[in-house]
Amino acid sequence: MDEIDRKILTLLQKRCDRSLAEIGDAVGLSSTPLWRRIRNLEESGIIRGRVALLDPQKVGCALAVFVTLRTRDHSTPWLTSFSGTVALWPEVSDFYRLSGSNDFILKVRVADVPAFDRFYKKLVAIDGVGDISTAFALEEIKHSTILPV
């Protein structure tokens, strides 16, 4: 990846619906070499996809809840099963395995507290889930999908 690729990635992260001409003007390339570079970035896996970013309030997912949990079972089969199950739940927007005192953290997006309660009951029903702690986001100060390239 060179400096032109980095500029392309920065522009696409900010707004991926820009025309090739607009991106090309910004990085100093014509459409054909620019398109080749974008295809190479996609084929190499650097660009994983292109998405529309939605307003959580307007689509009924206004409540953000951070859930940390510890497990009672650290075996590979349990971790694989747990991760595979929870990763498929549509309420879970982010899901990480951690070092330290907690084993996992989830960012959950739901409409309201009763919706979170339904999610919580699903989570605690999984055998092997131990201590769970939740924190309801009061205000989103910064949310970004842009990586520093």
Task: Give the CATH number for residue 35.
Answer: 1.10.10.10
Burial class of residue 56 in the structure, from the number of CB atoms within 10 Å of its CB (0-12 exposed, 13-18 middle, 19+ buried): middle
Residue 149 belongs to a domain? no
Each residue's pLDDT tens digit, 29-84: 999 999 999 999 999 999 999 999 999 999 999 999 999 999 999 999 999 999 99
Residue 52 belongs to a domain? no
Q: What would the two tokens of residue 136 be? A: 């309801």
Range of the domain at 9: 3-43
Alpha helices in the chain (DSSP H): 3-14, 20-27, 31-43, 76-87, 113-124
pTM here is: 0.88
pLDDT averaged over every residue in the chain: 96
Instruction: Name residue, tokens 């747990």.
Output: 82
